[in-house]
Structure formats: structure tokens, C-alpha cells
Amino acid sequence: MIGSRLVAPGDHLSVLCLGAHSDDIEIGAGATLLSLLERGVRLDVHWCVLSAVGEREREARESAADFLSEAASAKIEMMKFRDGFFPEQGEQIKCWFETLRERVGPDLILTHRREDAHQDHRQVSRLTWNTFRDHLILEYEIPKWDGDVGQPNCYAPVSARALQRKIDLMVSHFGSQRSKQWFDPEVFRGLARLRGMECRAPEKYAEAFVARKLTMV
């Protein structure tokens, strides 16, 4: 497997993180972001959650603030689109994406996987690609009862420390999710171990993405 480093310690990287729901970004890419910060990469992050209301908004804001506490800059944006109804709200969400395009110019976009079984996730992925045509987009994965975890083609090895911090922060912040069977440290660690095995990660763990378009220079 050929490895390629996106950024080196001390480099700046502008990242747009898109999540349909309050814990999606953390689940899909939380350890990757923490590992980049751990390596000394200066992250400028625009963190957007499209459905965050009431307690879920509070949890999302506090979690994002903790995950990004060492970032060079962080902007956290919460929207109130209706959970579970993103396809029916397509026009409104599309308009929001158009305004977002005028406000951000990221080096990297983290979003949902196109084939995700959750309709909200698929809608966010579709509109990400529809809106941002000239950007590096990586699609993260969300484990859930649907059993739709796919076959990624891009891996981000993460440190054991970053993975543990990701899990600790998620368990700490998302009290509303702790009773759900899928929201389990063993699930998150197990998937990271599997992806780490697939890419021979130095510390055994990795998060995985789908990279549909890459340019070789």
C-alpha cells in the first residue's frame, strides 16, 4: 500500500466538516482530526451540523468545542433541519449549501458516504458533491444497525491516544445517545481496529473514507 501525507507538522489545513446529526462528524472523523492536531498540523475548521435541536444542539456544540480546542481556528455552525426528513427538505437544505459555498473555501471536506443507508446522510453527501466541485472530498462511515459499512479506499491511521480521546469525549458529551445499542466504545474501537488492520496502521487503528476523485501531481 502506497502512503501519501496530506500535510506536514506546522502546515495549515482548512477543513469543512459536515454532519447531518449531532455526533456524526465525531463518529466518522473525530480521531482523524485529533491525530492531525496531535501531529502539529494547524487546522482551521468550519464544523457544520445540519440537525441539532434542544439537548442535541447543546451536546453538539460542547463536543465540537472540545474536539477543536487545539485548532488554530474553529467556527461551529448548527442548523435546525428536521431529523429524518432531509429528502423532503431538499430545497431548503440546497439553499443553505449555496450560502455555505459563498462563505468557505476549504482545502478538505469531510462528509457522509454516498451509499449510507440513512436518508439524511445520503442527502448531505449528494449536496456536498453538487455544491463543491473543485475540492478534495472524503466521505466518512457511520456504523449502525443497518449493517451498511462499505469498502473504503482511503485510510487515515490514528494514534491510540487520539482514538481513546475521541471515545472519551463522545461518551462524555452525548448522554442522549448512551442508551442506544450502537453507541458503544467497543463498536467505535472495533471498527477502528479493523480499518487499522486493513491499512497496517502503525498503532493498529485507523479511520477510513471513500475518496472518489483524486488528482495526482
**Contacts with 65 (C-beta within 8 Å, 6 or more apart), sequence order:** 74, 76
Flag whether 4 is in a domain.
Answer: no
CATH of residue 83's domain is: 3.40.50.10320
Q: What is the pLDDT of residue 20?
A: 98
Flag whether 174 is in a domain.
Answer: yes
Torsion sign, CA atoms 109, 110, 115, 116: negative
Torsion sign, CA atoms 118, 123, 128, 129: positive
Indicate the SS3 state at residue 155.
strand
Distance of CA 202 to the CA centre of its chain: 22
Flag whether 51 is in a domain.
Answer: yes
Residue 10 backbone class (left: φ over 0; alpha: ψ -120 to 50; beta: rest):
left
Instruction: Give the residue numbers spanning the domain of 58.
Output: 12-210
Phi and psi dihedrals of 201, rounded to 5?
Answer: -65, 140
Copy the grid coordinates of residue 193: 481496529
| Average pLDDT estimate for 152-160 | 97
| Average pLDDT estimate for 91-104 | 97
Q: What is the pLDDT of residue 6?
A: 84
User: Would you say residue 153 has pLDDT above 80?
Assistant: yes
User: Would you say residue 124 has pLDDT above 90?
Assistant: yes
What value does the mean pLDDT of the chain take?
95
**Pick from 94, 123, 135, 140: nearest CA to 20:** 123
Give dist(CA 162, CA 38) in Å, integer.
8
**Four-point Cα dihedral 68, 103, 101, 71, nearest 10:** -10
Flag whether 75 is in a domain.
Answer: yes
Copy the grid coordinates of residue 81: 433541519
Residue 140 backbone class (left: φ over 0; alpha: ψ -120 to 50; beta: rest):
beta
Flag whether 49 is in a domain.
Answer: yes
User: Would you say residue 189 has pLDDT above 80?
Assistant: yes
Total domain count, the chain:
1
Flag whether 137 is in a domain.
Answer: yes
Flag whether 43 is in a domain.
Answer: yes
Q: What is the pLDDT of residue 90?
A: 95
Q: What is the pLDDT of residue 1?
A: 65
Helix axes 90-103, 119-131, angle to 10 degrees: 40
Please write the tens of the pLDDT for every residue from 24-83. 999 999 999 999 999 999 999 999 999 999 999 999 999 999 999 999 999 999 999 999
User: Would you say residue 120 has pLDDT above 70?
Assistant: yes
User: Would you say residue 3 has pLDDT above 80?
Assistant: no
Flag whether 38 is in a domain.
Answer: yes
Q: What is the pLDDT of residue 50?
A: 98
